[in-house]
Amino acid sequence: MHFIPEELDTYVVKHSQKEPELLQQLTRETYQKILQPRMLSGPYQGRVLSMLSKLVNPKNILEIGTYTGYSALCLAEGMQNNGALHTIDINEELEDFQRKYFNLSPYGNKIHQHIGDATKIIDSINLTFDLVFIDADKPNYSNYFELIINKMNPGGIILSDNVLWSGKVIQKIKKDDITTKALLDYNKLLVEDERVETVLLPIRDGLTISRVTSI
Ligand SMILES: C[S@@+](CC[C@H](N)C(=O)[O-])C[C@H]1O[C@@H](n2cnc3c(N)ncnc32)[C@H](O)[C@@H]1O
């Protein structure tokens, strides 16, 4: 969905950093071989994630929702040399695809894959994080927030994707639409919770930046 006119959107992309060749290759292969390729972050949001990660320069990064590894590779671009990126996905069929591209990048040995339900895995990763990207099942966003908030370093950044849910957050909710309801609750939680400072950016499907104040 385009939240700004398509022509302006094209101009924005054209005047932003170009997508690295490896990510173009990953995108092509995702479209050829993997279901639901629209789940990819895509070139513009990918460059935003890369830029934010470079600004934060995190040691430890956590990603919830790896898919084919696109956003993990973007976030890894800003990671410290001695850093680590832990990424979780419930779909074990994606593991080899992700590893192939992680190994083709300069970050292969710093990216750790976890396969399974993120609600069960997060606690077992014995680290604190400077940067977290939440991009998995939307009904669990608030649960993910509660699971990670005590693992965040002060000043750490939590990024949450798809928070505008194609604009459904301002439309009348259908009775059985648990996803929109969950995102409305999550967006409210982020803006009201005093442990974070939050700005929702109307980038792509909505990307929230929350900075951890005190724990
Ligand atoms: C939108 S895709 C992630 C896209 C990826 N971050 C990117 O930008 O390229 C969401 C992913 O979350 C995974 N997922 C869904 N429920 C999950 C859960 N409970 N725990 C871990 N991963 C989950 C799905 O298998 C899917 O690959």
* Separation of CA 65 and ligand 1 centre (Å): 3
Q: Which helix (H) or strand (E) holds 46?
A: helix 43-56
* Separation of CA 209 and ligand 1 centre (Å): 19
pLDDT at 51 exceeding the cut of 80: yes
Selected residue with higher pLDDT from 9 and 207? 207
End-to-end distance of the chain based on CA atoms, in angstroms? 36
- Domain positions in the chain are 6-212
Indicate the top mutation candidate among 91, 102, 163 to test ligand 1's pocket, ranked by most ligand atoms within 8 A of CB: 91
Residue nearest to ligand 1 atom 19, measured at CA: 117
Give the model confidence (pLDDT) of 139-181 as tens digits: 999 999 999 999 999 999 999 999 999 999 999 999 999 999 9
pLDDT of residue 214: 66
Whether the predicted model's global pTM rises above the 0.75 cut: yes
Q: What is the C-alpha to C-alpha distance for residues 215 and 199, in angstroms, rounded to an integer?
A: 19
> CB-based burial of residue 16 (10 Å sphere; 0-12 exposed, 13-18 middle, 19+ buried)?
middle
Architecture of domain 6-212: 3-Layer(aba) Sandwich (3.40)
pLDDT of residue 4: 84
Six-digit token string for 205: 């499907």
Pocket, ligand 1, Cβ cutoff 6 A: 39-41, 65, 67, 70-71, 88-91, 117-118, 135-137, 140
